[in-house]
Amino acid sequence: MRMLTEVDGIPVRWVSADAPAGVALWLTHLGGSAEQAEPMLTRLASRGLLAVSFDPPGHGRRGSNGGDPMELGLEVLGAFRRRMWPLAGLTVLESLRVLDWVDQKFGIVGPRLAGGVSMGGDIAVALAGIDERIARVAALVATPDWTRPGMRELGDDRNVLDQGEADSYARWFYDSFDPITHLDSFRRDLAIKFLCGASDLHVPAEAALRFRAALGERVQVELFDGLGHLDAARDERLYTAALEWLTP
């Protein structure tokens, strides 16, 4: 079964097994949509779950005047800390709303899982830091450090991206949700796996390795040789590994 609906104005897409034994939230990359996430939702549902995604603010059906997703991505990356930190934080909060709706509507007993790609993976990790329903996370080409040290421009690894400065509004979201500065929130019964391109200079794996060093065996990092950010985000091996991690 697959459906579209709205939850408090949030466009939600879900795919469900006949008798789901848990819930998986899968979150899209910057400039993506819940529609683009549907293949992964279908795969998660085939493992016996209700799999759900939604369009983050400004994405998919919430984009302004059918705007170009590439243009949105360039705008956010052009003022990264001022634009990305609120976008990520608001999506964390909307994830709570969508999961509450799933609980109220379906009453499914079983684990709550989360995952996503790039920005979506960042958000899935941050969500696990504030929502103890989440038991397992798969984060593809993602980071637990919202400052992204050493981040290079997407598509041009020669240049370090000028992230700009956060305003007070953006700083509030960073101070509230940035995983690597809230390590104690992850010291619980939780399993997180980062699936990273070993040659990714846009979202370097260094922060995931630092997160693992701080939190121990509850965090795993798998590096895929020869893959930069965009190649890793499209590589079937990462999605298969995420599926196996979330539904062992």
Rounded Cα gap, residues 69 and 225, in angstroms? 28
Strands 191-197 and 134-140: parallel
DSSP-assigned letter for residue 110: S
248: Cβ contacts below 8 Å, ≥ 6 apart: none
Q: Give the H/E segment covering residue 43.
A: helix 34-46
H/E run at residue 77: helix 69-78
Q: Which helix (H) or strand (E) holds 104?
A: helix 80-106
pLDDT at residue 157, rounded to an integer: 85
pLDDT at 67: 57
Number of residues that this document lists for the chain? 248
pLDDT in tens, the chain (248 residues): 779 999 999 999 999 999 999 999 999 999 999 999 999 999 999 999 999 999 999 999 998 755 577 889 889 999 999 999 999 999 999 999 999 999 999 999 999 999 999 999 999 999 999 999 999 999 999 999 999 999 999 988 899 999 999 999 999 999 999 999 999 999 999 999 999 999 999 999 999 999 999 999 999 999 999 999 999 999 999 999 999 999 98
Sign of CA dihedral 148, 154, 158, 164: negative
**Residues contacting residue 79 through CB under 8 Å, at least 6 positions apart:** 164
Q: How many C-beta atoms lie closer than 10 Å to residue 169's C-beta?
A: 11
Give the pLDDT confidence score for residue 180 in this predicted structure.
98
Q: Which domains does the chain have, with CATH numbers?
A: 2-246 (3.40.50.1820)
- The pLDDT of residue 156: 85
For 161, residues 6+ apart whose C-beta sits below 8 A from its C-beta are 77, 80, 151, 152, 153, 154, 202
Q: Exposure of 218 by Cβ count < 10 A (0-12 exposed, 13-18 middle, 19+ buried)?
A: middle
